[in-house]
Amino acid sequence: MQRSTTQVLYRYLPGAVFFHEDGFIAQVHHASGPRVSNLNRRVLFEELSNELGRWLPDQVGIPDPRTNPDEFVILEPEEVSWDVYPLSFECTNQACKRVVRWFRQRAVLEATNATGELKCPHCNAALRQLWYLTAHNCGRMEPLHTPKCPNCQNVANMYLEDLGSFRSSSWRCRQCGAAIGTRFTPCDCGRYARAGVRSMQRGFTPRDQRLWYPQSLTIISISAQTYDNLQGHPSRGVAALASWLGDETDLAVSLGQLDRPSGGARMSADEWAEQEARLRASGIAETIIDQIRETQGPVVTGVAAVAGTVSDAVVEAAGQRAMVERAGLFDKKIIEDRKSFADLHAQATGADSTAANYARTTMEALGIEDVSVTQRFPVLVASYGYSRCQKEPGTSDLKSYARQRLYGNKTPIFAVPADTEALLVTFDARAVLAFLGHEDDFAGPVPTEARDAKLALAEVLAADPAVGGDGAASKSRRLVHSASHALLRALDDGQSGFAESSLAEWIVPDALTSAIYVASYNDFTLGAFDTVLRRRLAPWLLRTAEAVSHCDNDPMCSQISAHRRHAACDRCLHLSYGCRTWNADLDRRLLRRFWLWTQQRHQETVRLETVA
């Protein structure tokens, strides 16, 4: 079976149940592939340790990589070994339908006759696999339990009256006709149940995603000394913030400034002007004056300017991993080939220049500050375990992929590293802030300078780190996330050759930034994103804005209620593979309002400029 390693990561790791293309159900036993060496282990282990900390200690079946880094092996999953599962079969003769269950795959193979068919021991008709499974939050999964007949106590004559769902179906006895509900199977673990209530496994069809949730994390795996130094630096938030604000994107420079002894007090702008004039008058060389300015002059740019003027909360928020990763991505000494829209616009000539002008107008109209492209987006998606029934930390057991006598008796982490192609979209803080003001979620004035707007928004975001709420911060994050999905889906227009399922999202909502990257090169032309940025940026953005104005599932999709507070569904915003949060916290209506408003505002500005 040919699958991309990314698909394997999301669907076919150990413990997963899947439909084999030959028409049966199987469970992945183990996965194998080469060791991954070109990755930043330190960042991966740090983040994994943080992730594990979100579960209760008795739920975690994985060692802590901070204390036991040597117990792990990191593999790229290229081959998947599976077993036929479940080993429950029913007779295809409608007058019989008796269920036969095996407990070992070997026994099934032995029972298979020369023509490769399993036969009903009762009537000799062919058998087919019975699909239903039960599972529990503790990680247990079993074939649907076949009960004894409550009347004649025999198990050999039971058949399943299958009414299409686990709930409505029932067991019946061919012998005596007695019936029994497909009762929920108790689970021996005695956990995940209210006090005094038995733990129960739940029934699922193999297509149900709840049977197996891969637990994974995505990191930007940059192997550069500067980036490592940044990661471990106590003031990494300052450097990350200076990068996002556009003050200093060269991290080596930022780190140098952070590590410089602060020396004596600095002069005010006036004091320095006087001093500079004096130095110059006395014939001091300009290079010396520059050096003195750097240590004694007023701070206007760079990390020192950031450190002195923003709140501790903002600096702390900027130290979160995603912000630091973004700073790594936007350092041109680290990701050397990244081209911003401004870079391309400045170089464009002829037809490209016309396209670039149009693109710039369109970006302004949609509140987008920059779209960058790189062929070396260093993303790494790693799956370290799985859960059943529920996916959120703390709601179930986190199961390890480790297996006795496999993986050198270590705990495997399955990872797909890629220097892949990506488009990085950053929204304009002024547009987001003004829109929040327009919706009465932000009361302050909207700064006219982009940098000031970023700082104002950063204060709002730092004050409320939650996701999914109704405040300005949550709304801003939801807006960026929704836009990210809409932009990704709009690339799959049926013509350009982008398949939605081969793209994925990497997002830093607090920096108004999302990267759309190529997760599978199966059907993707290298350099295609570069072409989008050079030639087709405006059509792509406009198509995105147009697409969110409606959904094929309307009016249903747009109907919201106390239980469904935002509008998003698989016909408009959901992604099939590429969203780390499984399509949580998206709202097409919010995004639609945003873009209607930015476009209207842009038109008014243009009109005013024309009049003036």
151 binds Zn ion (CB under 5 A): yes
- Angle value at C-alpha 337, between 336 and 340, nearest 5 degrees: 110
User: Measured from the CB atom, is 189 or 342 closer to Zn ion?
Assistant: 189
Member of 56, 109, 152, 606 binding Zn ion (CB under 5 A): 152
**By three-state DSSP, how is residue 138 classified?**
coil
Segment contacting Zn ion by CB under 5 A, of 7-15, 30-38, 138-146, 238-246 = 138-146
User: Measured from the CB atom, is 130 or 304 closer to Zn ion?
Assistant: 130
Member of 222, 323, 446, 572 binding Zn ion (CB under 5 A): 572
* Least distance CB 327 / Zn ion (angstroms): 21
* Residues 476/464/426/47 CA torsion (nearest 10 deg): -130
Segment contacting Zn ion by CB under 5 A, of 281-289, 301-309, 457-465, 563-571 = 563-571
Phi, psi angles (nearest 5°) of residue 561:
-150, -175
d(CA 577, CA 583): 10
User: Helices (DSSP H) in 151-285: which residue ranges?
Assistant: 225-232, 236-245, 251-259, 269-281
User: Helices (DSSP H) in 53-191: which residue ranges?
Assistant: 105-111
* Least distance CB 126 / Zn ion (angstroms): 9
Q: What are the respective helix, strand and coil percentages of the chain, to the nearest 5?
A: 35, 20, 45
590 binds Zn ion (CB under 5 A): no
**Residues in 323-352 at the binding interface with Zn ion, rule: CB under 5 A:** none
Member of 29, 119, 122, 376 binding Zn ion (CB under 5 A): 122
- Enter the tokens of residue 257: 């400034």
Segment contacting Zn ion by CB under 5 A, of 77-85, 88-96, 313-321, 489-497 = 88-96
Binding mask 481-510 for Zn ion (x = CB under 5 A): ------------------------x-----
User: Measured from the CB atom, is 101 or 571 closer to Zn ion?
Assistant: 571
Binding mask 173-202 for Zn ion (x = CB under 5 A): x-xx-x--------x-x-------------
User: Measured from the CB atom, is 131 or 407 closer to Zn ion?
Assistant: 131
Secondary structure letter of residue 337 according to DSSP: T
91 binds Zn ion (CB under 5 A): yes
Member of 84, 87, 96, 156 binding Zn ion (CB under 5 A): 96
* Least distance CB 585 / Zn ion (angstroms): 8
**By three-state DSSP, how is residue 513 classified?**
strand
d(CA 548, CA 565): 17
Member of 205, 275, 390, 553 binding Zn ion (CB under 5 A): 553
User: What is the DSSP annotation of 361-419?
Assistant: HHHHHTTEEEEEEEEEEEEEEEEEEEESS--STTSS-BB----TTSGGGSEEEEEEEEE
Characterise 283 by phi-psi region: left (phi > 0), alpha (psi -120 to 50), beta (else).
left
Interface contacts to Zn ion, rule CB under 5 A:
91, 93, 96, 120, 122-123, 125, 136, 138, 140, 149, 151-152, 173, 175-176, 178, 187, 189, 505, 551, 553, 557, 569, 571-572, 579
